Amino acid sequence: MKTNHTKIVDCTIRDGGLVNNWDFSVEFVQALYAGLNEAGVDYMEIGYKNSPKLLKGADKAGPWRFLDDEFLRKILPEKGNTKLSALVDIGRVDENDILPRSESMLDLIRVACYIKDVDKAIDLINIFHARGYETTINIMALSNVMENELIEAFELIKDSVVDVVYIVDSYGSLDHKDIVYLTEKFKKHLPNKRLGIHAHNNLQLAFSNTLIAAENGVELLDASVYGMGRAAGNCPTELLVTHLKHTNYKLRPVLDVIENLMIPLREKEEWGYIIPYMITGTLDEHPRSAMALRASKDKDKAVDFYDTLTTPEVSFDKS
């Protein structure tokens, strides 16, 4: 029987942590890992591997914001088949804090960067590759990248050691035509690289965009259980698990995770398709303004919010 070329990277803890400041209990993360492992999900991104000394407010975030290898060994003394991943940001990680893979619980380190920092990302990837890790480069906010910038980045990436190059829809503003265009462009200029996709759900297109990417040869598919992720959230893991053909994924363990972990959490934290996030998505803007609105007393005043974002004149209260 034909086998599916795709692999699921579940980002519930890493991206979902942007919702609750990574305030997940150890028991929550252990249960999530057990469920994903039973479901046959390929990777679990268990958090960030950034260095607390390089980021303001580190002491207020949960441990999944700055993963410690000894801590990971204690909470997951025995790994299953599901590999562990972590993300780092340019300027927020000290390379000396990354152990060799042989001494770490992590299998995959992904480097997130904006287009201007692709060279810095490749420098980090060279180090992580030499230490034995699988690697990806995740170029954020592609919808705001000029084509000439992308071509220049491809020239740097094509001869690098990075394993996977990600198409990232940071603002949830892309549709199926954009995904087809980008996958074809990435394949043309990076024929020797595997591809991944990270889609946000501002326009309720994360799932369909991910499927279209997979149909066009993209291998690593980012998702999160119950869609938990920053603002509008991500492609739901459970939809990929049940929909992808010719795989050995199991849906029931993910449903168990949703029932026991995610639904109670959703009653306390907000994420997913909400009108202010739709507005920033359709305007191709970062959702930070919508997130601020949802945290205010005017959280449901979507018309005023839309008018503010689409009015070219900006005035400030001089008082």
Grade residue 59 by pLDDT with cuts at 50, 70 and 90: confident
> What pLDDT, in 10s, does the model give residues 132-171?
999 999 999 999 999 999 999 999 999 999 999 999 999 9
Mean pLDDT for the stretch of residues 199-209: 98
pLDDT at 277: 98
pLDDT at 318: 58
CA dihedral 144, 284, 172, 94 (to 10 degrees): 50
The DSSP secondary-structure symbol of 222 reads E
217 pLDDT more than 90:
yes
Say what percent of the chain tops pLDDT 70: 97
315 pLDDT more than 80:
no
The candidate with the shortest Cα–Cα distance to 202, out of 285, 269, 140, is 285
Q: Token pair of 162, please?
A: 């990075």
Say what percent of the chain tops pLDDT 90: 95
The DSSP secondary-structure symbol of 258 reads I
Grade residue 1 by pLDDT with cuts at 50, 70 and 90: very low
184 pLDDT more than 60:
yes
2 pLDDT more than 80:
no
Q: Token pair of 296, please?
A: 């205010």
pLDDT at 16: 98
81, 120 Cβ separation under 8 angstroms? no
Distances (CA, A) of 302 to 25, 116, 229, 295: 34, 33, 21, 13
312 pLDDT more than 80:
no
Could you tell me the sign of the dihedral formed by the alpha carbons of 110, 142, 284, 211, in that order?
negative
d(CA 143, CA 141): 5
pLDDT at 57: 83
> What pLDDT, in 10s, does the model give residues 71-125?
999 999 999 999 999 999 999 999 999 999 999 999 999 999 999 999 999 999 9
Residue 169's DSSP bridge partners are 199
Residue 295 CB partners (closer than 8 Å, separation 6+): none
Q: Token pair of 298, please?
A: 């005017």
d(CA 300, CA 82): 40
Mean pLDDT for the stretch of residues 184-206: 98
